[in-house]
């Protein structure tokens, strides 16, 4: 039996032939065909070198990117529609504000507050890469603008207090995530945690200074320093305890517990010293609880509980560490 098969049919069989999973008859057909057909023989010899797999991978990539582009365009379109809807109240307010003869007074407040809303709705729709990074940046910027407009409109002088407080709050929550986002992470290099802590500390000090300039009271600075300094030191100590040593989580949690207990105990006296008041170790009278003893008893209880809980956690951690090294 000598049947000639078309090249197309043989090419369908080639992968099966290569993997040696085709029938005897198909096998013979392929061999007879490639003896005469150099094109199919060439295809067979290239089957194993990954050329085909490469083509399939490439086509897969193209399909995925086409799909992604489609969705990007679609969400950008929705974003544009939402932005257009946002323009309506802006236009209405502009007309009413002008018509009422007040000049462009509260129009800018409406404009700025819509800007805040737009930053949270339109930016995520329009941006395709690093979406939430752009959103949080746009939100922060529009919030600062809104605060400025409100402050100017009401004739207040509280802008820098509100702005630095907002910045500090947003940074404390979002900065750890922002530094890990791709475009930021590449430029920041090593020790991102330290840089976040430095930024937070800087913003905190800036906020406290702005509040001080706002309240204009000589008493403020000593109180602010006395309260802030122990807090900042505690934040840095906890950060350093978690970031730098190579213990396991339980030992770290234990040390943090103990540190918080000890800090709680000495913060009161430290504030007294910083404010120039007579300082002393609080009295401990565990069996007498009344208005005079309660403060001292509580700080002692926090100290003891912190150290005990810390010790228990650290011991469990050490036992686990010991088992691992065995």
Positions in the binding site for Zn ion (CB under 5 A): 7, 37, 40
Residue closer to Zn ion, measured from CB, 41 or 234: 41
Cβ contacts of 135 within 8 Å, gap of 6 or more: 119, 120, 123, 124, 127
Q: Nearest approach, Cβ of 36 to Zn ion (angstroms)?
A: 8
Residue closer to Zn ion, measured from CB, 9 or 233: 9
Residue closer to Zn ion, measured from CB, 40 or 208: 40
What is the DSSP code string of 173-206?
HHHHHHTTSHHHHHHH-S-HHHHHHHHHHHHHHH
Q: Nearest approach, Cβ of 34 to Zn ion (angstroms)?
A: 7
214: helix, strand or coil: helix
In whole angstroms, give the CA distance from residue 276 to residue 107: 50
Using Cβ positions, the residue closest to Zn ion within the complex turns out to be: 37
Residue closer to Zn ion, measured from CB, 40 or 150: 40
In whole angstroms, give the CA distance from residue 111 to residue 91: 9
Q: Nearest approach, Cβ of 12 to Zn ion (angstroms)?
A: 11
> Is-contact 310 257, C-beta < 8 A?
yes
Residue closer to Zn ion, measured from CB, 37 or 232: 37
| Distance (Å) of CA 105 to CA 102, 153, 163 | 6, 7, 21
Residue 172, number of CB atoms within 10 A of its CB: 15
Residue closer to Zn ion, measured from CB, 37 or 270: 37
Q: Could you tell me how far CA 161 lies from the centroid of its own chain? A: 25
Q: Nearest approach, Cβ of 7 to Zn ion (angstroms)?
A: 3
Q: Nearest approach, Cβ of 61 to Zn ion (angstroms)?
A: 30
In whole angstroms, give the CA distance from residue 85 to residue 97: 19
Q: Nearest approach, Cβ of 37 to Zn ion (angstroms)?
A: 3
């Amino acid at each position: 039996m000598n049947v000639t098969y078309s090249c197309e049919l043989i090419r369908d069989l080639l992968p099966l032939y290569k993997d040696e999973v085709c029938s005897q008859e198909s096998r013979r057909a392929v061999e007879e065909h490639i003896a005469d057909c150099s094109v199919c023989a060439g295809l067979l010899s290239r089957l194993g070198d990954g050329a085909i797999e490469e083509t399939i991978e490439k086509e897969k990539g193209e399909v995925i990117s086409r799909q992604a582009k489609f969705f990007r365009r679609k969400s950008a379109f929705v974003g544009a529609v939402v932005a257009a809807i946002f323009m309506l109240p802006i236009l209405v307010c502009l007309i009413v504000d002008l018509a009422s003869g007040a000049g462009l007074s509260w129009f800018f407040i409406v404009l700025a507050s819509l800007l805040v809303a737009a930053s949270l709705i339109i930016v995520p729709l329009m941006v395709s890469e690093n979406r939430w990074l752009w959103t949080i940046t746009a939100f922060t910027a529009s919030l600062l603008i809104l605060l400025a407009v409100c402050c100017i409109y009401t004739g207040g002088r509280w802008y820098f207090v509100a702005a630095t407080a907002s910045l500090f709050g947003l940074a404390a929550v979002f900065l750890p995530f922002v530094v890990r986002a791709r475009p930021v992470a590449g430029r920041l290099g090593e020790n991102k945690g330290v840089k976040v802590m430095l930024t937070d500390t800087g913003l905190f000090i800036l906020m406290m200074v702005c509040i001080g300039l706002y309240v204009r009271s000589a008493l403020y600075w000593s109180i602010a320093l006395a309260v802030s300094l122990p807090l900042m030191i505690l934040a840095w100590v906890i950060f350093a305890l978690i970031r730098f040593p190579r213990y396991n989580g339980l030992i770290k949690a234990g040390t943090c517990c103990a540190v918080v207990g000890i800090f709680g105990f000495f913060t009161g006296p430290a504030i007294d010293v910083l404010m120039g008041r007579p300082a002393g170790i609080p009295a401990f009278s565990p069996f007498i609880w009344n208005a005079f003893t309660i403060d001292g008893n509580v700080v002692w209880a926090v100290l003891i509980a912190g150290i005990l809980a810390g010790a228990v956690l650290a011991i469990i951690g050490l036992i686990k560490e010991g088992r691992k090294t065995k």
